[in-house]
Amino acid sequence: MGTQGSPVKSYDYLLKFLLVGDSDVGKGEILESLQDGASESPYAYSNGIDYKTTTILLDGRRVKLELWDTSGQGRFCTIFRSYSRGAQGILLVYDITNRWSFDGIDRWIKEIDEHAPGVPRILVGNRLHLAFKRQVPTEQARAYAEKNCMTFFEVSPLCNFNVIESFTELSRIVLMRHGMEKIWRPNRVFSLQDLCCRAIVSCTPVHLIDKLPLPVTIKSHLKSFSMANGMNAVMMHGRSYSLASSGGGSSSKGNSLKRSKSIRPPQSPPQNCSRNNCKIS
């Protein structure tokens, strides 16, 4: 009987997020729009708390999110204070069709500053599909978010709009804050444009990019990409090309001239030399 190995994790990072806001702003709708993950709380006591897990893909890394929906009712404020411990991100949710829910964000920010200071947060305007009943202008909410140093999203769980994007952005903020960006940066997923530029620059010397049958703007972008990524010297046909050797034979001649100039001339022999062939006539 073989020994059973350790179970392989289905994620690379695990983050705990809280969804806070007044009651009936649609926090439960946001959780229900997430199809994957478990919905049963790992704790026996879950009165006033909705729980959901989901896994997102962030720059090629799997990030598992534990999402806790704290009720907006006042009698559950003590539960929020206990669940806010260990939270790594907070989503402040309001209803764009309810002005009162937006005005209550100030109260939730004070609760967060008191019980979870310094935790990254974003502002989320829910129920964008009811924009025809809007009571909170987008410009006002965006200005409020900028004033409080928060990222702003308007989402619609019914249309599946910006829900995953809001969780992804908050995850990026949290991981960058903890210095995790340096870990996954070498394994990040390149865009199609980066892959095309990398393929062209890797087999084309920089001084030959101008001869490619491409538009001028693309040639300029290729040069910038080459210089920015340190690919200005590439191997081609067994030789190394770079901007320093782009002059061809003239540069080699110039280098040889520089070497010849750097050679010191022979010094004259001393005047008291006894050998006749050492005397200068």
What would the mean pLDDT of 153-171 be, rounded to a whole number?
93
Q: Which residue has the higher pLDDT, 78 or 241?
A: 78
pTM attached to this predicted model: 0.60
pLDDT at 38: 52
pLDDT at 239 over 60: no
The CATH number, out of the four listed (3.40.50.300, 3.30.565.10, 3.30.70.141, 3.40.640.10), of the domain defined by the range 13-183: 3.40.50.300
Confidence label for 15 from pLDDT (cuts 50, 70 and 90): very high
pLDDT at 59: 78
Q: Which own/partner contact pairs does 193-198 have at CB distance under 8 Å and 24+ positions apart?
A: 194/225, 197/221, 197/222, 197/225, 198/225, 198/229, 198/231
Q: Which tens digit of pLDDT belongs to each residue from 97-155? A: 999 999 999 999 998 898 888 899 999 999 999 999 999 999 999 999 999 999 999 99
Cβ distance 68 to 100 under 8 Å?
no
User: In angstroms, rounded to a whole number, what is the distance separating the alpha carbons of residues 52 and 38?
Assistant: 6
Boundaries of every domain in the chain: 13-183, 192-246
pLDDT at 216: 78
Percent of the chain with pLDDT over 90: 35
Q: Which tens digit of pLDDT belongs to each residue from 31-50? A: 999 876 555 544 444 455 68
User: In angstroms, rounded to a whole number, what is the distance separating the alpha carbons of residues 24 and 80?
Assistant: 16
pLDDT at 98: 96
Q: Which tens digit of pLDDT belongs to each residue from 48-98? A: 568 899 999 887 788 999 998 876 555 445 566 666 778 899 999 999 999
pLDDT at 225 over 50: yes
